[in-house]
Amino acid sequence: MKRLGQLDRYVLSRTLSGVGVALLVITALITLIQFEELSKTVGGRSDAGVAELFYLTALKVPGLVLLLLPFVFLFGGIGAYVALNRRSELIAMRAAGISAWSFILPSASAALIIGALVVGIANPLAANLSERFEIERARMTEGYLSTVPKDVWLRQGDDASLTVIHAKLREYDHGSVLLKGVSLFIYRKDPTGHLQFSRRMEAKQARLEPGHWQLTDVREASAGQNSIHSDSLSLRSTLDSEAAMDRFSSTEAVSFWNLPKAISETELAGFSAKAYRLRFQQLLATPVLFAAMAILAAAFSLRLTRLGGLAPLAGAGAGIGFLIFFFNQVSSALAGANFIPIVLGAWAPSLVALLSGLTLLCYTEDS
């Protein structure tokens, strides 16, 4: 592997510094906006103080920052190259016959590596913090936000049985799943794979413990038989608290490493795992998107510097960022509606951004 020269390391350090500054600015803006939002939604409905609101904000902000990281690389890269242009350093490099590829590829490679680290390390941490945010917000509001005023449905199953769980209320209780007003419909699978109704259970509440549901005040009835009452009863479960909470959460709250398990368990329980599959492919495409943003930042900077004017440069960078974000939303919606394959919907924005940057950069080099 070719070692980076002194000039390459210098440009790379300037680029990473620009990305760092952009990250600090965006993080500060998100923190202020989120704190204001939580002050209205949580502070106005509980006795939470400033310290607790800042704690909630700290739990929520990492997930939002990760969502905007591609734009951090875009705007940070543009800022870094603009600074180099102001000092005429890029002009001197170009006049000396140094190809733009020699100092852009290290930056793109660094963005690719950082993207992989974000997906493998930062994403699971942010997902855990998001889960803690939901629990702490529920605790601070004393049930105002922790109780969901709509029916909750869950499925669990294996090769021999299927259990459909319906509850009227769901609450967070120290990170565990607590359901109230619970009805459980248990089916057995015959040798042909068809479901046969076995029994129904009604419970005042059900708490998900490791490997089983702990039911309270239970009334159980099998087909054609009288009901039997029990004060407490255990029912084997194929779900754990994390998997059950994943069913209640958005796909963004499920970590990268838990997505394959969520896909498998969701499909085993008879649900569509399309949203989880789309999210998994989007995370796989994230490093490519980061690298594409780094290349786009350089390509726009080099081309527009020749034309003169930094305002058009900033406008073009903001415009391309908006277009990529909009295209990503449209592509995800089309994939979710089965108009295009999931892999295409997840990878198209990253690949289009990468090819656009490479095309513009090649045109700039040849012109």
Predicted confidence (pLDDT) per residue in 158-201, tens digit? 777 888 888 876 665 555 678 888 888 888 887 777 778 888 88
Residue 1 has a pLDDT of 42
Predicted confidence (pLDDT) per residue in 88-102, tens digit? 777 777 667 677 777
Instruction: Please tell me the distance from the alpha carbon of residue 316 to that of residue 269, in angstroms, as a whole number.
Output: 47
What percentage of the chain has pLDDT greater than the value 70? Answer: 80
- Alpha helix stretches (DSSP H) within 308-341: 310-336
Higher per-residue pLDDT: 235 or 272: 235
What percentage of the chain has pLDDT greater than the value 90? Answer: 24
- Cβ neighbors of 57 (< 8 A, separation 6 or more) are 31, 34, 35, 38
Q: What's 146's DSSP letter?
A: T
Torsion angles phi and psi, residue 273, rounded to 5: -100, 25
Instruction: Please tell me the distance from the alpha carbon of residue 47 to that of residue 140, in angstroms, as a whole number.
Output: 8
Residue 240 has a pLDDT of 65
Are 20 and 76 in contact by the 8 Å Cβ rule? The answer is: yes
Instruction: Please state the rounded mean pLDDT for residues 309-316.
Output: 62
CA distances from 162 to 55, 151, 196, 305 (A): 40, 19, 10, 64
- pLDDT greater than 70 at residue 268: no
Residue 148 has a pLDDT of 42
- Cβ neighbors of 151 (< 8 A, separation 6 or more) are 166, 167, 168
Higher per-residue pLDDT: 364 or 71: 71
Count CA atoms closer than 13 A to 156's CA, side-chain side. 17
- pLDDT greater than 60 at residue 52: yes
- pLDDT greater than 70 at residue 364: no
Instruction: Please tell me the distance from the alpha carbon of residue 249 to that of residue 126, in angstroms, as a whole number.
Output: 14
Residue 245 has a pLDDT of 56
| Domain annotation for the chain: domains and CATH numbers | 6-141+276-366 (no CATH), 159-237 (2.60.450.10)
